[in-house]
Amino acid sequence: MPEVMPARLRFRAARVVDPASGRDEVADVVVQDGVVMPADSGPRETVLECDGLVLAPGLVDLHAHLRQPGREDKETVESGCRAAALGGYTAVAPMANTDPVADNASVIHEIRELGRAANLCDVFPVGAITRGLEGADMAEIGEMVEAGVRVFSDDGRCVPTARVLRNALTYARIFDGVVIAEHCEEASLAEGGQMHEGLISASLGLAGQPRETEEVVVARDISMARLSGGRLHLCHLSAPRSVEMVRSAKAEGLRVTAEVTPHHLVFSDEDLATYDTNVKVNPPLRATEDRAALRAGLEDGTIDAIATDHAPHAVEEKEAEFDQAPFGTIGLETALAAVLTYLVEPGTLTVSRAIEAMSTAPARILGAGAHGGPIEPGRPANLVVFDPAAEGIVEPPFASKSRNSAFLGRRLRGRVVHTVCRGSLVVADGKAQR
């Protein structure tokens, strides 16, 4: 039951980390009428004490699967948004591999409306590149751009031919700020692969797919970006050479961006030794040395953003035999804590860089101007307040309808306390208000 939303909220004495403005200092942040206000005191303020807490621009997830329409048993836009808000996200970009596919304005509108009705975070639906994700005919990109879409992706699938990708990248140049996001996977090498191909897969008797499955397509896609002059974004990178190629592409001045998931930053193929289907993901978790390259790439900015690739699956599907189980892990509720525990705490990333990767950069790629900071008077209030020291074990119940978390049973440090979406306190003291 939502209480009457306080008219004026003061977050007192929080450590404000705002990469967009370069701020990292203890300060008050005041929110009223949906925007950030100057921090002088005002009438009838509700004060939330934030001593020891971090206040940052709300997180933005470039890559999640909310499963609606089509698989509402696994997740709905509403449950996914609740999971997102509890994870500190104020914006989520749900991928287009729904049923029906989001390859036209009607489905886009439907998804956006569901997000509005849930009223927990902003939803930026991703449109398909090709009709039905079939990889052949281009979807009506223009119509979807008019409906507000900025990112297009056939994620779940890889665009099968260079020609289709080239056309999409080229065509999309009509529209400002439109990004083609690719799931890089060479189909014939990936075929039958259950995990990373290496010593572990050989010993477990599971078919694997090598790094080249991704690298071959990253190389192709970067070439097409060069050829077309379009904007390319590479989803969930897993291999070191992919990172190198992105580095070179950026140095060359190509408009290429990249993301990595929390689970690829934390786990490796060794975590599959017990055939745990919760860590069966695509692209697969690769070797420990690959993980180091991903972390370094994130740290030096080659990889722009962290995106969850939140992929809910039904319990019975994930409880099946390993090779029958679908790929994916949920991640919206654990992403921030995972990054804080495994990357910030050990010193691989600063808090500021982590927030930049989880908020500022994805907001920029998504074209979500209201998100990502800077936190200054007049700008929409999309904020997250979290306690970096609070510890907890990842276990059900989750806000997500599904439970397939790679982090199940792990102890993580970092708890979202408040989430503010367009000035509304959607999560207060760790509890969703809707």
Partner 1 sequence: MNKHLLSIHDVSAPDIVRVLDTAESFREVGTRIIKKVPALRGRTVVNLFYENSTRTRISFELAAKRLSADVINFTTSGTSVSKGESLKDTALTLQAMGADAIVIRHSSSGSPLTLTRWVRGSVLNAGDGTHEHPTQALLDLYTMRDRLGRIEGLRVAIVGDVMHSRVARSLSFALAKMGAETTLVGPPTLIPPDATAWGVQVSHDLESVLPKLDVCYLLRVQKERQRQQYFPSVREYARLFGLTRERVTMLPESALVMHPGPMNRGVEIDSDVADLPRSVIEEQVTNGIAVRMSLLYLLLAGSAPEGGVTDA
Active site (catalytic) residues = 309
Instruction: Find the angle CA(177)-CA(183)-CA(186) to the nearest 5 degrees.
Output: 135
**Dihedral over alpha carbons 143, 145, 147, 150 (to 10 degrees):** 150
- Note the residues at the interface with partner 1 (CB under 8 A): 198-199, 202-207, 274-275, 316, 319-324
Sequence-separated (6 or more) residues with CB below 8 Å from residue 282: 185, 327, 328
Element (H, E) at 60: strand 59-64
By beta-carbon proximity to partner 1, the closer residue of 27 and 314 is 314
Least CB distance to partner 1 at residue 162 (A): 24
Least CB distance to partner 1 at residue 194 (A): 8
By beta-carbon proximity to partner 1, the closer residue of 326 and 367 is 326
Least CB distance to partner 1 at residue 195 (A): 10
By beta-carbon proximity to partner 1, the closer residue of 38 and 203 is 203
157, 120 Cβ separation under 8 angstroms: no
Q: State the SS3 of 316-346.
A: HHHCCCHHHCCCCEECCCCHHHHHHHHHHCC
Phi, psi (degrees; rounded to nearest 5) at 229 = 70, 15
By beta-carbon proximity to partner 1, the closer residue of 176 and 319 is 319
Please give the structure tokens belonging to residue 304: 């722009």
416, 90 Cβ separation under 8 angstroms: no
Provide the 8-state DSSP code for 38: -
Phi, psi (degrees; rounded to nearest 5) at 220 = -60, -45
By beta-carbon proximity to partner 1, the closer residue of 5 and 202 is 202
Least CB distance to partner 1 at residue 200 (A): 9
Least CB distance to partner 1 at residue 76 (A): 25
